[in-house]
Amino acid sequence: MCVLFALHFFVVNFAHAGLHVVIDPGHGGVDTGATRGSIRESHIALSVAKKLAEHLRADNRFTVTLTRESDIALTLPERAAVAKRVKADLFISIHANASEDPRAQGVEFWFQNQLPANEESLFLVSRENQSHESSNRGQSHGGDETPSPQRDVSRIIEDLHRNHRIAASSDFSQTLLSAWYAEGRRKNKNAIRQAPFFVVSEVHVPSVLVELGFLSHENEGPRLSDVSHQALMARHLSEGVSQFASRLGSERIQ
């Protein structure tokens, strides 16, 4: 019920102009993200993002914007600003993971939560939020916190929006996961995760951060840089976005 209501909340734009999907290839330029030899997370993310954009642009239900189209560095606020500027309906940030545990493998879909994060998710959040923290260093966050009835009302409205967005982001993650494993492969039991990543918490539409797999895994690492595997991953993601859009569409006519 909550999810249906949340989806309904995001249907308005879809009824008018289709869905504007913002794809955010993580890292870029001097910010390589995780590496394995000469393999860079930033390159994998850009390649998969471009392939995903190609799939979605072939479907007239979607308008697509990439936060970066080349190997350049962008701060996290700049990425979130792109989503705001184009009035995105969906936001998907693409990354690859690395772990000190050589057994760690598999895709993960992360969405924002308001729960305390565990140690493992905090470690990943600190890695993925690094460029934001370095760009923000030295700035102070002032602000007038004097209570007022208007502020209370706007906070309640903000909370409602946030709760709907989190429920819709959860549903978006589940849909992407089902599409990813549609071929019956064994699911990673921790594939849906929640953490306060900057990009997915600052973009005010259903948002997911995808970790495509682990560069640190001996088989999965090299495979992530394989062009045909990247094409397959992009197809899985495209199928998930398409299924989510179809759900929004069927919500609209109910």
Q: How far is CA 118 from CA 99, 100, 150, in A?
A: 16, 17, 35
Does the CA dihedral 79-56-94-196 come out positive or negative? Answer: positive
Kindly state the smallest distance separating residue 153's Cβ from Zn ion, in Å: 37
Residue among 26, 28, 221, 240 that touches Zn ion (CB under 5 A): 26
Give the DSSP letter string of 12-64.
Answer: HHHHHH-EEEEEEE--BTTB--SEETTEEHHHHHHHHHHHHHHHHHTSTTEEE
Q: Is 33 in the site for Zn ion (CB under 5 A)?
A: yes
Give the amino acid at 79: R
Kindly state the smallest distance separating residue 78's Cβ from Zn ion, in Å: 15
Q: Is 95 in the site for Zn ion (CB under 5 A)?
A: yes
By CB under 5 A, which span of 87-95, 184-192, 193-201, 244-252 interacts with Zn ion?
87-95
Which CB, 10 or 198, lies closer to Zn ion? 198
Kindly state the smallest distance separating residue 28's Cβ from Zn ion, in Å: 10
By CB under 5 A, which span of 10-18, 27-35, 66-74, 104-112 interacts with Zn ion?
27-35
Angle between helices 41-57 and 227-253 (to 10 degrees): 50
CB 102 within 8 A of CB 215: no
Kindly state the smallest distance separating residue 231's Cβ from Zn ion, in Å: 20
Site of interaction with Zn ion (CB under 5 A):
26, 33, 95, 128
